[in-house]
Amino acid sequence: MPVSFDLSGRTALITGANTGIGQGMAVGLAEAGADIVAVGRSDADETGEKVRALGRNFHFIKADLSSIAPIEAVVAEAWDKAGGVDILVNNAGIIRRADSLDFSEEDWDAVMDTNLKVLFFLSQQVARRWVADSRKGKIINIASMLSFQGGIRVPSYTASKSGVAGLTRLMACEWASKGINANAIAPGYIATNNTEALRNDETRNRDILARIPAARWGDPSDMAGAAVFLASSASDYMHGAIVPVDGGWLAR
């Protein structure tokens, strides 16, 4: 069978697609032929314009993914409005920064709930639909360099992204035999809202760039190729992989 990255006729559900990495992946998947269902608490008008300009359908579901409360309704609406989804991209995430000696329980819980708990239970709800319908599916989780490393001043983010890597492998172990591929992308240092503080810190920015062989911060669009690959039939025998897209950061 020839290798194909064509996503025509498929629908991708993407959380946190209003800006940054989520938007970059949404546009990339649409360029490959997928329709997009975006989920988030902030309107995704710009993403919608970009997707529709490519001739693809776009539907936005407004939901606060800081807890699992809206998950059942989100999945129901995606199936009702889009006829179901074939690809789930768990991109929504937050970060809180403070020295570990001073880190608060509130910041710990907020990050773990959004980055890990919601990711698992949204995946569970979608996977249940796929299994019930005997429908194949692709799950793409968004991990991090801190799925491999410890980081500085981001204890809950490090814990959550290490957990994302572990859950991706668990999903693969349990769901591969059911026709579901679960893999993850681990972005390097990407120019987004989450990294604005680092880019504005002259010393940290200089040190980060010195470590990246590609000698630049990543752009959200740099995530699109990996997302298309993992969403397509070209990756049908990939299960439980954590794919770094990092400008060579981990190779240094």
Query: What's at 114, amino acid-wise?
Result: T
Separation of alpha carbons 249 and 226, rounded Å:
16
pTM of the model: 0.96
CB 74 within 8 A of CB 68: no
Q: What is the dihedral of CA 147, 71, 194, 248, to 10 degrees?
A: 40
Q: What is the pLDDT of residues 95-128, one digit of tens each?
A: 999 999 999 999 999 999 999 999 999 999 999 9
Distances in whole angstroms, Cα of residue 5 to Cα of each of 28, 66, 231, 233: 11, 33, 8, 7
Indicate the average pLDDT of the chain. Answer: 97
Angle at 136 between CA 134 and CA 137, to 5 degrees: 135
Q: How confident is the model at residue 1 (pLDDT cuts 50, 70, 90)?
A: low
Q: Is 34 exposed, middle or buried (0-12, 13-18, 19+ CB in 10 A)?
A: buried
Q: How confident is the model at residue 17 (pLDDT cuts 50, 70, 90)?
A: very high
pLDDT at 223: 97
Say which residue the tokens 């062989």 belong to. Answer: 213
For residue 83, pLDDT over 70 is answered with yes
Task: Give me the percent of the chain exceeding a pLDDT of 90.
Answer: 96
Average pLDDT of span 4-18? 97
User: Is domain 11-245 given the CATH code 3.30.70.270 in the classification?
Assistant: no
CA-based nearest residue to 139, from 27, 240, 22, 249:
240
Q: How confident is the model at residue 2 (pLDDT cuts 50, 70, 90)?
A: confident
Average pLDDT of span 178-182? 98
CB 16 within 8 A of CB 123: no
Q: How confident is the model at residue 171 (pLDDT cuts 50, 70, 90)?
A: very high
Domain limits, the chain: 11-245
E strand map for the chain: 11-15, 35-40, 58-62, 87-90, 137-142, 180-187, 242-245
Q: How confident is the model at residue 198 (pLDDT cuts 50, 70, 90)?
A: confident
Task: Give me the percent of the chain exceeding a pLDDT of 70.
Answer: 100
HSE-up of 220 (CA within 13 Å, CB side)? 21
For residue 139, pLDDT over 90 is answered with yes
Angle at 64 between CA 111 and CA 178, to 5 degrees: 80
Q: What is the pLDDT of residues 36-58, one digit of tens each?
A: 999 999 999 999 999 999 999 99
Instruction: Indicate which residues carry an active-site annotation.
Output: 157
For residue 63, pLDDT over 70 is answered with yes
Average pLDDT of span 125-139? 98
Average pLDDT of span 5-28? 97
Separation of alpha carbons 15 and 19, rounded Å:
11
For residue 10, pLDDT over 80 is answered with yes
Q: Give phi and psi for 186, each to the nearest 5.
A: -110, 95
